[in-house]
Amino acid sequence: MHGPVLVSWLLAALAAASAGFGLYRLRAGRDGRGGCGPESRDSDAAEALMGIGMAGMVLRPGIVWGWLFALLALALLIGTLAPGVPRAHRLHHGVGALAMAYMGLAPAGGHHGSMGLPAVTGALLVYFGGYALWTGSRLLSAPGGQLTVAGPADVSRACRTAMGVGMFAMLLTM
C-alpha cells in the first residue's frame, strides 16, 4: 500500500482485529446471531482469511499475496455453485479475494508506473465504497430507535464495515 506509514499500520491492525474476531467466532462455533451452521463457519473462515491476508498485504506487499488470493478467489467462486450455500456472501468474499489478487498482481504487470487498470480499480472502488456504506448504515439502525448494547452481531457488522473501508482505502492508494 502506498501512503503514510501510520495509516498502513492502523489498517493492518484493523484487519488483524477483524480476522481475530472471525477466528474467535469460528472457534466458538457461533455467527453472532446464535447460529452454528456450516454457512456461518464458512463465512467466519473466509472473513478471518481475508483479514489476515489484508494485514499481511498492507505490511508486506508482494506478488505472492496476489497468487494466494487468486487461488482463494477461485475456490470461493467455484463454491458459489454448490447447492445449499449462501451464494451472496460467498460471492462477496470471492470479489474481495479477486480485488486482493488484483492489488497484489497489478504492480507486476504495470507499464510505465501504472498500478492497475483505471476501469477495474474504479469498479472495485464503487463496489467496496457502496458495501462499506451499506454495512455501516446497518450498524446505525437500531430497532425502535433506541440505543442498545452492542452484541456479537453488531461486532460482526462492524468488522465487515471495517474490512470494506480497508479494501476501499487500499484500492484508493493503488
- The domain spans of the chain are 5-172
Q: Does residue 84 carry a pLDDT above 80?
A: no
Query: Worst-scoring range by mean pLDDT, 36-40, 61-65, 97-101, 121-125?
Result: 36-40
Place of cell 478471518: 48
Query: Worst-scoring range by mean pLDDT, 29-38, 84-93, 112-121, 138-147?
Result: 29-38
Mean local confidence (pLDDT), 79-84: 82
Q: Determine if the pTM surpasses 0.85.
A: no
